[in-house]
Amino acid sequence: MKKTSQTVGLMTALLLAACQSGASDALKITDDHGNSPQHGGEWILVAGQVKGKTLNVQDGKITLKQDKDAFTGISAINHYRVPVKIRGNTIEHPDEPPTTTLMAGPMEAMRLESDYLEAMRVVNNLKREGDQLTISGDGIELQFRPAR
């Protein structure tokens, strides 16, 4: 009985330590002066181009949040997670593939989601200027504003 209570106590301590350490390791999207966003780190896609095609952002709401080693959010219909490593203004993609939930929705929103997720797999640059965040890559530009 004593060994069981010690094991439970140890597991509880490990879980609490793991929860506390994750928040400080989150990616930080800062501007050129090192300032973090004042809105909790969530962004809304307001415009975008992928390979010369304008994204119809009115077809669904796309959000972006910085998580530990990943961009996460809602991609018009589904929740998504795109593993990344941020080094300065450079976005690197590890070998781990993006993941999403698997819900269906209106065709226009599904098309927007597909185009957005395709772009997020290959973007390689980010730039924040005040309340504007731009994520870009070869033939890709995604513009975000803070969620309010």
pTM over 0.85: no
- In-domain check, residue 92: yes
CA–CA gap between residue 123 and residue 103 (Å, rounded): 24
Q: Of 84, 61, 60, whose CA–CA distance to 72 is shortest?
A: 84
**How many domains would you assign to the chain?**
1
Give the pLDDT confidence of 29-54 residue by residue, as tens digits: 554 445 544 556 899 999 999 999 99
Tell me, what's the pLDDT at 67?
A: 84
- In-domain check, residue 17: no
Q: Given the DSSP bridges, would you call strands 90-92 and 140-146 parallel, antiparallel or unpaired? A: unpaired
Percent of the chain with pLDDT over 90: 70
- In-domain check, residue 105: yes
- In-domain check, residue 26: no
| Domain residue limits at 124 | 42-146
The angle subtended at Cα 53 by Cα 134 and Cα 132, nearest 5°, is: 15
